Amino acid sequence: MLPLLTPPLKPASERYPSAILKQVFGALACVWLIAHPGAVDARTQAVGTVLEVPLGKLHPTQPSVGHDEVLGKLARWQVNPKRWSHDPALQLSYLNRTVGHKLAGYCKDMGQQGLAQPFSDPAQALAASLDEPGSFSCAGQAPKTAGDPGHAALQPVVVGPGGRLYLIDGHHGFTALAEAPDGGLELPVRVRVAADFSHLPVDAFWQRMAQEGHAWLHDAQGHAVLPEHLPRHLGLACPGQTGLMADDPYRSLVYYARGIGFKPQNLPNFAEFHWAAWLRAHAQANHEPWALGHYDLNSPTPATLDGAVNGRPAYAQAVFDAVKQMRDLAPDSAVSDRYSAKQLGAYGHATADHTPEPAKTKLSPRQTWLRDVNALLRSDETPNGKPRTGGKLWYALMARQQLPRCKSQASVLAQP
């Protein structure tokens, strides 16, 4: 039984009741660049320049995100102030793993080193929020120029025609910040300029973006997307809604396969979308039984080696079956017309697995993958009742049960 999250994400109508806010946000975001002390005009900046802008000024270069990945992040950040309230030490540990984790991640997004220090008492942690900068402090100095500590950790943007900023990485993390109850499209973030193509006409700009691998112009069904049909803002879209990020469930699947099916380090932009497209196309072309529609993505049942279960197999089984497909690929196999499996972090054939387990475990490679996949289902409470960090898939399943999937606060601000 998953613990109840309180308070839940507020419906958009409650968080932003003013119709005026919907209509004037675009203008306010432009004024923000002038009024905010960290804001600058992107059109005057060289490659490597650090910009501080509201999330609403960043334009997506992909049509979708894995909604389960984003909602899982939100679920981890949600706090139930009643949990472990009988024991201040345990409650503080829990709060540092939830709200503390959120704020530390935001500090790192800003190019700093996490929180200056963990919270020292529950009241302090419960009062801290993204929209109250004085309620927490980040460790380290904020990067100002290329070469400063933390500069390389900033998410990259490309300056396009008219000085518009196009985000080319970090869509999932920034979408989570946009959807957080204490976040939103006005939340300031730091980014670094990776390229300046502002001198190009619009058509030439998008040709250059595609050539450089700075855009993913395919939807969740694998169809080509025109640049003018990309989302206007970061934020989760409901089915059929335009202007925000649609759901690509295969992209979420690949997220849970990180470090098990492929190595997540030093990958090209949109690497996980290349894997997602390969899994989707491979399943559809070969009528594979592991196409996602075959699974119950709301079930917390662990995966098994042979997939034998009563009823439909669960989410963890989908991840394990995807891992097997990825690990069975030869390194020189083409995953897309741009990259091979090796270029996208493939480990190689199961029989050539070069990460042996200690002899005492006597686990085969597939048994090792199965163990690692099922570890993603670990809850945030130990068997003896103490807080711990849950598994990524456990948070996603909790979000599927308890967080609203369409009442996003970003959707209010993105309305035309």
Q: What pLDDT does 404 receive?
A: 65
Q: What pLDDT does 411 receive?
A: 45
Q: What pLDDT does 359 receive?
A: 52
Q: What pLDDT does 27 receive?
A: 38
Residue 331 near residue 341, CB atoms below 8 Å:
yes
**CATH dotted code for 17-224+233-245+408-413:** 3.90.1530.10
Name which of 267, 257, 249, 281 is nearest 341 in CA terms.
267
Report domain extents, the chain.
Answer: 17-224+233-245+408-413, 250-375
Supply angle C-alpha 307, 311, 315, rounded to 5.
Answer: 55
Ranges of the chain with pLDDT below 50: 1-40, 42, 351-354, 356-357, 411-416
pLDDT tens per residue across span 264-322: 999 999 999 999 999 999 888 766 666 898 999 999 999 999 887 778 999 999 999 99
Q: Distance of alpha carbon 340 from its chain centroid, rounded?
A: 24
pLDDT tens per residue across span 175-212: 999 999 999 999 999 999 999 999 999 999 999 999 99
3-state SS record for 93-161: HHHHHCHHHHHHHHHHHCCCCCECCCCCCHHHHHHCECCEHHHCCECCCCCCCCCCCCCCCCEEEEECH
